[in-house]
C-alpha cells in the first residue's frame, strides 16, 4: 500500500496505488436544502444513459429520502459497519480507519456487495419522516419531525475504491478531468467494484455481464457543458465545475469559493477515505448528531455560515449561478447587482441579478387594445 494525502481527512492514508493528480478535477456542489425530490435528474440520467437491456436497476443518479431511504437499500449502513471507531479529533483530523486501512490479508478494500433484492425498491423510504406526526398537525416552523432529500451520483473520487479493487485494471481516472470510467472491454464482471464502492455507484448489468457506472456525461464536459443531472435540475440545487489543486483554492472559482474557502459544502461520508468530489450543503433542520456522521465534524459551523450568506456577497454570487447556464463556469465575479460567470477563455456566459426584477404591465394595453388580466 502507498501513502497518499487525503485533505478531507487532514492526514495521510493508505491506498493501493501512488497518488496521481489529474490536470483538472471534476467537482459538484449540491445544496440539499433546495432539493424537492422531483426525480427529474434521475429520469434525465436514466433516459440518457441507462435505458437499455439489463439496466433496469441501474441508477447512476438517484435521490433518496434520509434517514430511511437508500438505493441500494442500506448502502450506507453496511459500509459504515466495516469501519471501526469513526472519530475526529479537535483539529478535524480523522482518527478512525478508512476502507483502505486495517484490511484483511489479500484484501484491498473493505467492502459489502448488496444482495440483488436490495436493488428491487429504488423509492423505498421516500418521504418517510423521522419521528411521529400527530393527527391534524400542520407546519409550524422547525420541529422534531424531519427528513431530507439526498441526491446521489458517482463522486468521481480522488482515491476511487472501485478502481482500487478491480483485479483487471479496467477502471481508470481520466487525466484531463478526473472522471472515473470503466473500460467495458476489459471488465470481466467480477463485481469487485460493486463490492468496493462505498457509495454503491457501480452497477452490474445482468445482460451484458459487465459493470457500469456514471460517466460524468463526459461528452458534454468535453464541449464545455455541465452534465444532464445538473442542467435539468428543477430546484437549481446543483453546480458542476472543476476544483483547483487543494493547496491553492482560487477565489474566482465558484466551486473553490464554496468548498475550499468558505467551506460550506462538505463531502459525504469522507471517513470512507475515497476523497469524494461531490460536496453537499447540509440540511439546516436535521439534528447535528445525525449530520456529524454524514458530513463530518464541521457541519454546525457550515450551517451557521450558510444561514448568514446574505451578508457575504462573494459567496452569495457563487450560489446565484446555480442552474442558470448549461455551460461550465470556470470563474466568476460578484458585481454590485449581478453575479457574473465566465467560461474557460474568460468570455461572459451568464449574468444573474441578486434581486429578481419586477416588471409591471398596465391593466389596459394601448398597443394591443386589450386588458391584461394577470396584472394586479
Q: Which residues bind ligand SF4 (CB under 6 A)?
A: 35-41, 63, 149, 151, 154-157, 160-162, 180, 197, 199, 201-202, 213, 233-235, 237, 274
Whole-Å CA distances, 235 to 36, 228, 230, 256: 7, 14, 10, 22
The least distance separating ligand SF4 from the CB of residue 155, rounded to whole angstroms, comes to 4
Nearer to ligand SF4, 62 or 73 (CB): 62
Q: How many CB atoms neighbour CB 352 within 10 A?
A: 19
Nearer to ligand SF4, 161 or 340 (CB): 161
d(CA 68, CA 342) in angstroms, rounded, equals 40
The least distance separating ligand SF4 from the CB of residue 274, rounded to whole angstroms, comes to 5
Backbone angles phi, psi at 161, to 5 degrees: -70, -35
The least distance separating ligand SF4 from the CB of residue 37, rounded to whole angstroms, comes to 5
Q: How many CB atoms neighbour CB 209 within 10 A?
A: 12
The least distance separating ligand SF4 from the CB of residue 122, rounded to whole angstroms, comes to 13
Nearer to ligand SF4, 94 or 149 (CB): 149
The least distance separating ligand SF4 from the CB of residue 204, rounded to whole angstroms, comes to 12
The least distance separating ligand SF4 from the CB of residue 302, rounded to whole angstroms, comes to 19
Q: What three-state secondary structure class fits 63? A: strand
Nearer to ligand SF4, 319 or 334 (CB): 319
Nearer to ligand SF4, 42 or 73 (CB): 42
d(CA 178, CA 166) in angstroms, rounded, equals 18
The least distance separating ligand SF4 from the CB of residue 214, rounded to whole angstroms, comes to 7
Please check whether residue 99 is in contact with residue 110, taking contact to mean a CB–CB distance below 8 angstroms: yes
Nearer to ligand SF4, 69 or 334 (CB): 69
Cell of 188: 470481466
The b/e string for 1-40 (b: 16+ C-beta within 10 A; e otherwise) is eeebbbebbeeebbbbeeeeebebbbbbbbbbbbbebebb
The least distance separating ligand SF4 from the CB of residue 34, rounded to whole angstroms, comes to 7
Largest CA distance in the chain: 83
* Pick from 117, 123, 118, 155: nearest CA to 43: 123
The least distance separating ligand SF4 from the CB of residue 268, rounded to whole angstroms, comes to 9
The least distance separating ligand SF4 from the CB of residue 21, rounded to whole angstroms, comes to 15
Nearer to ligand SF4, 199 or 279 (CB): 199
The b/e string for 52-86 (b: 16+ C-beta within 10 A; e otherwise) is eebbebbbbbbbbbbbebbbbbbbbebbbebbeeb
Nearer to ligand SF4, 232 or 253 (CB): 232
Nearer to ligand SF4, 203 or 332 (CB): 203
Nearer to ligand SF4, 190 or 342 (CB): 190
* Pick from 106, 108, 87, 105: nearest CA to 96: 87
When CB distances to ligand SF4 are compared, the closest residue is 235
Please check whether residue 187 is in contact with residue 211, taking contact to mean a CB–CB distance below 8 angstroms: yes
The b/e string for 199-208 (b: 16+ C-beta within 10 A; e otherwise) is bbbbbbbeee
E-only strand ranges, 8-146? 11-15, 25-31, 62-66
* Interior angle at CA 317, CA 311 and CA 322, nearest 5: 130
Amino acid at each position: 500500500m502507498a501513502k497518499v494525502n487525503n485533505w478531507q481527512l487532514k492526514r495521510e492514508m493508505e491506498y493501493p496505488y501512488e497518488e496521481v493528480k489529474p490536470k483538472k478535477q471534476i467537482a459538484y456542489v449540491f445544496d440539499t436544502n433546495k432539493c424537492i425530490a422531483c426525480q427529474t435528474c434521475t429520469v434525465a440520467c436514466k433516459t440518457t444513459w441507462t435505458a437499455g437491456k439489463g439496466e433496469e436497476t441501474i441508477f447512476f443518479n438517484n435521490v433518496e429520502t434520509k434517514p430511511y431511504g437508500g438505493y441500494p437499500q442500506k448502502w450506507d449502513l453496511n459500509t459504515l459497519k466495516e469501519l471501526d471507531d469513526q472519530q475526529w479529533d479537535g483539529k478535524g483530523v480523522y482518527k478512525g480507519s478508512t476502507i483502505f486501512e486495517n484490511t484483511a490479508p489479500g484484501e484491498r478494500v473493505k467492502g459489502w456487495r448488496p444482495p440483488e433484492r436490495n436493488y428491487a425498491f429504488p423509492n423505498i423510504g421516500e418521504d418517510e419522516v423521522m419521528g411521529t406526526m400527530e393527527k391534524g398537525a400542520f407546519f409550524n416552523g422547525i420541529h422534531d419531525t424531519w427528513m431530507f432529500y439526498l441526491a446521489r451520483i458517482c463522486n468521481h473520487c480522488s482515491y476511487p475504491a472501485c478502481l482500487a479493487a478491480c483485479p483487471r485494471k479496467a477502471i481508470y481516472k481520466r487525466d484531463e478531468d478526473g472522471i472515473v470510467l470503466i473500460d467495458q472491454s476489459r471488465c470481466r464482471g467480477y463485481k469487485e467494484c460493486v463490492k468496493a464502492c462505498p457509495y454503491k455507484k457501480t452497477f452490474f448489468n445482468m445482460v451484458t455481464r459487465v459493470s457500469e457506472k456514471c460517466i460524468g456525461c463526459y461528452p458534454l464536459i468535453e464541449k464545455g457543458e455541465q452534465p444532464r443531472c445538473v442542467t435539468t435540475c428543477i430546484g437549481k440545487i446543483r453546480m458542476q465545475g472543476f476544483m483547483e489543486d487543494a493547496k491553492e483554492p482560487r477565489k474566482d472559482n465558484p466551486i473553490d469559493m464554496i468548498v475550499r474557502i468558505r467551506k460550506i459544502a462538505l463531502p459525504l461520508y469522507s471517513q470512507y477515505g475515497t476523497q469524494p468530489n461531490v460536496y453537499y450543503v447540509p440540511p439546516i433542520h436535521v439534528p447535528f448528531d445525525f449530520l456529524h456522521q454524514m458530513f463530518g465534524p464541521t457541519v454546525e459551523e457550515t450551517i451557521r455560515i450558510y444561514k448568514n450568506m446574505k451578508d457575504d456577497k462573494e459567496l452569495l454570487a457563487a450560489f446565484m449561478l446555480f442552474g442558470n447556464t448549461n455551460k461550465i463556469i470556470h470563474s466568476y465575479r460578484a458585481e454590485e447587482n449581478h453575479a457574473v460567470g465566465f467560461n474557460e477563455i474568460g468570455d461572459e456566459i451568464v449574468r444573474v441579478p441578486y434581486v429578481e426584477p419586477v416588471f409591471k404591465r398596465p391593466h389596459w394595453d394601448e398597443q394591443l387594445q386589450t386588458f391584461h388580466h394577470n396584472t394586479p
